[in-house]
Amino acid sequence: MKKRLVAVLMTAAMVCSMGSVSAVSVFAEEETAEAAGDEDVVYVDPLEAEDGLPFAATELSKGKTIGVSVQTHANAFFLAEIDGVKATLEKGGIDAEVIAPDPANDINTQVEDITQMVARGVDVIFVDALDKDGIKPALQEAERASIPVIAIDSNVEDKDLIASIVESDNVAMGKMAAQTLCDSIDGEGEIVVINWSTLQAVRERVEGLKSVIEESYPNVEIVADQDAFGVVEDAQSIMESFLQTYPDVKGVFAINSPTAQGAAAAIKAAGLEGKISVVDIDGAQNDIDMIKEGQILCSPVQFPKTIANKAMECAELIWAGKEDEVAKHYYVSGDNITEENLDQYDGNTY
């Protein structure tokens, strides 16, 4: 398998200035790429630059119109992706237009938004797809107009319709959270999953959970798995139902920060705080606060601004006619935030 750069396990020491992270352990898995069958994979170190933005936009971006379609503007992660595009332009002192409508978690709206971007003649589209299959009509519209599309955070089914995918190593992060969860319940007992199964990134996180259980924790059982679609209130309602149906549940695998927030609220309301382990994946400031308060055990951190930054670098290579220098798949490495290392991230994440 060809890989131009793979960072399997690294420790990056950084000077703490201007809100940067210091002495952070960064984890990534080569086997994730192997399992996915990827032949052209690059692992990106998010700590290569203190601001998380190794790349600064150049004159190639000047005057360009950049379309960004994330899943919702009601989640800090997706807003940070948009901010990452803008920050990359600002870092290079480049004026360009960024169009970023809010599909509000609706795939039909997202497809229409991208169709409108194509009609407007944008120069590139970054898409964090709500549905890896449902996004296809929008990708086809962009292809017909010869507008490059770069997937960010969540992959798509029709990979021939995108120039590249830049995302977190979701399988690896699922494994990190799963390891912490299973260890916290001494390797046995019932756990539940509060999911968002239409998202490819989330499917990979749950894949990581299941692989850890299968390989190392045969006495841990997933007794329930239900979608909350990243909505706090829905996650709380689902967790309340789980507590009634599965009174012996020991742990919760929440797929993102809002999901964990809802689960933790239900557990607290039931007077079970400290008795049921909760983990999630995001690494947002909200997660750090929940770790401090003892509501969750860990949250593998993502770097949405770095994801957007790498996407911008890829776009410039494409505009420069250097498509062959763009890898088909980039993974941005992550770290597992726990009580032991949260001081390194407190106030420094998104």
Between CA 117 and CA 148 the distance in angstroms is: 12
**C-alpha torsion 113→117→119→124, nearest 10:** -150
| Poorest-pLDDT segment among 43-52, 103-112, 154-163 | 43-52
Segment 197-217 shows an average pLDDT of 97
pLDDT band at 37 (very low <50, low <70, confident <90, very high): low
pLDDT band at 343 (very low <50, low <70, confident <90, very high): very high
**Phi and psi at residue 147, in whole multiples of 5°?**
-100, 120
Alpha helices in the chain (DSSP H): 30-36, 76-91, 107-120, 136-144, 170-184, 200-216, 232-245, 257-269, 285-292, 304-319
**C-alpha torsion 103→196→173→218, nearest 10:** -170
- Report the chain's mean pLDDT, rounded to a whole number: 91
| CATH number, span 170-301 | 3.40.50.2300
Strand partners, 69: 127
Q: Is 205 exposed, middle or buried (0-12, 13-18, 19+ CB in 10 A)?
A: buried
Q: What percent of the chain has pLDDT over 70?
A: 89
Between CA 296 and CA 186 the distance in angstroms is: 16
Q: What percent of the chain has pLDDT over 90?
A: 86
Read off the pTM.
0.88
pLDDT band at 348 (very low <50, low <70, confident <90, very high): confident
| Poorest-pLDDT segment among 7-21, 191-205, 311-325 | 7-21
CB atoms within 10 A of CB 235: 30
- List, for residues 266-316, the tens digit of each pLDDT value: 999 999 999 999 999 999 999 999 999 999 999 999 999 999 999 999 999
Between CA 337 and CA 282 the distance in angstroms is: 9
For residue 1, pLDDT over 70 is answered with no
Contact at 8 Å (CB) between 190 and 225? no
For residue 324, pLDDT over 90 is answered with yes
Locate 202 and state its tokens.
């989330």
**Phi and psi at residue 334, in whole multiples of 5°?**
-135, 175
Domain ranges of the chain: 170-301
**Phi and psi at residue 83, in whole multiples of 5°?**
-60, -35
pLDDT at 34: 47
Give how far Cα 244 sits from Cα of 238, 239, 248, 249, 270, Å. 10, 9, 10, 10, 10
